Amino acid sequence: MASIKNKLAAKEALKFIHNNLKAELNLIPLDEMHRSKAHGFGVGESGKQFVVILGGSDGALQTRIITEKLPVLPLITDVTHKPNIYKGARVNQQNTSLGYKNNLFNGNQCSFIVDNLSALDQLIRWYVTGNTESAF
């Protein structure tokens, strides 16, 4: 795992998702773009959601992705599962800033630190495509 100084910055990850994955994977922004703490995305018709954490103590220095609880964790190089529930306010509100129901509310979540764009791309594709029944 990379040291925190060498990790993927959250704003770079968010830009990558918007520019490279949003249209292709039918990702729907669930929060207003001016939010500084977290940005949520819905996954097309599936109803799944994930959040990119931007603020807090580690947001600028690394990329944390919060997904809904998963039956199996991904086996992707440079993606580290964090077993503790993320306690940030955005993830623990019942609704997103645009009024969508928040599926990550009340601890229904898995948290991951992602070290680089390749790992981010693999994690988001793994989660979005529904291959969450088995390892990547």
Q: What's the pLDDT score for residue 101? A: 87
Beta carbons of 15 and 63 less than 8 angstroms apart: no
| Structure-token pair, residue 133 | 């029944």
- pLDDT at 43 > cutoff 90: yes
Task: State the Cα–Cα distance between residues 46 and 62, nearest whole angstrom.
Answer: 28
Task: State the Cα–Cα distance between residues 39 and 53, nearest whole angstrom.
Answer: 7
- Read off the pLDDT of residues 119-133 as tens digits, 9 standing for 90 and up: 999 999 999 987 655
pTM of the model: 0.85
Closest CA to 41 of 96, 80, 93: 96
Q: What's the pLDDT score for residue 59? A: 52
Q: What's the pLDDT score for residue 47? A: 87
For residues 6-13, give the mean pLDDT.
84
**pLDDT-derived band at 54, boundaries 50, 70, 90:** confident
- pLDDT at 5 > cutoff 50: yes
* Helix %, strand %, coil % of the chain (to 5): 25, 20, 50
**pLDDT-derived band at 55, boundaries 50, 70, 90:** low
